[in-house]
Structure 1
Amino acid sequence: MLDHVFLTVSDLGRSTAFYQAALAPLGVTDRLDYDGRDGPPGHPDLKGLGAGGRMFLWLRAGEAEGRAVHVGFVARSREEVEAAYDAALAAGAVSNCAPGPRVHYDPRYYAANVRVK
């Protein structure tokens, strides 16, 4: 089980705004600004996103490396998948695959895929 994920992004402000908008329909509404000076020497400043007071998606500024990461978020319903997909597109993402069943993974699996420009 994963505890957290760090994503290196080229535009921290734009990326933070995108993930806040795209993940809000999934209940990911908590935010935390972590000052790297509070950590060990050399620790980067981070923007944390999460739910229930727990941050699990951390963004840090740096050189982004194309398609180096694929992250899937859990939704409680098909409606949440569709709402998150719509929110991601409205926030500037590009569709990789519209919401729908993915029976090649599991007969119950329903997902949508987006790519951040």
Structure 2
Amino acid sequence: MPLDHFNIAVPQGKLEDIITFLTTSFEPLGLKEIARPVPTVVGFGEKTPYFWLNVADLKEVDSKSHEAVLKSQHIAFTAATTEEVRQVHAAALKAGATCNGPPGIRAYYHPGYYAAFVVNPVLGINFEVICHDDASR
């Protein structure tokens, strides 16, 4: 069954920074802010929101534990072409991300698996952009 949407909880002081990183880095894929139903909840997508951020209440969870959970996350976005993978990787690095794997084939997953990985400078999340098969290659 396909995934409809998902959510990440972020600290209040980091919300605008992660919004800026996402809209800057993933613009080549068409990702943009779609909805902000309340000031502490933001939905992203191309046409409808499927990736949500909400402000975490760190009174219930200490900030070190929350930070460890965020850094253990891996989120992958699909690209239509290998060029889009390269564009997102370059945009993310320009936005302050750290390279966690340059654009290239990852044949150990499958022969057409072309991906790049970056660690977000705001929350430490490992983001991947992947093209499973680019017929233009």
Q: TM-score, normalised by structure 2?
A: 0.73
2:46 alignment partner, one of 45, 51, 56? 51
Shift of 1:30: 4.2
2:24 alignment partner, one of 21, 26, 29? 21
1:110 equivalent to 2:104? Answer no
Q: How does 1:62-73 map to 2 (within 5 A)?
A: 62=56, 63-64=66-67, 65-73=69-77
* In structure 2, distance between residues paired with 1:98 and 1:104: 16
Partners of 2:33 and 2:42 within 8 A in 1: no
Q: TM-score, normalised by structure 1?
A: 0.84
What's the secondary structure of 1:71's corresponding residue? strand
Shift of 1:67: 2.3
Letter in 2 for 1:79: E
Question: Where does residue 8 of structure 1 map in the other structure?
Answer: 9
Q: What do the CA deviations read for 1:48-85 (whole angstroms, capped 9, x no partner)?
A: 11112x10111112244342321110000000000011
1:98 alignment partner, one of 102, 125, 131? 102
Question: Where does residue 74 of structure 1 map in the other structure?
Answer: 78
Q: Which moved more, 1:75-84 or 1:24-33?
A: 24-33
How many pairs are equivalent?
108
* In structure 1, distance between residues paired with 2:91 and 2:82: 14
1:31 equivalent to 2:25? Answer no
Q: CA RMSD in A?
A: 1.5
Shift of 1:29: 2.6
Structure 2, unpaired ranges of 5+: 57-65, 122-137
* In structure 2, distance between residues paired with 1:90 and 1:7: 23
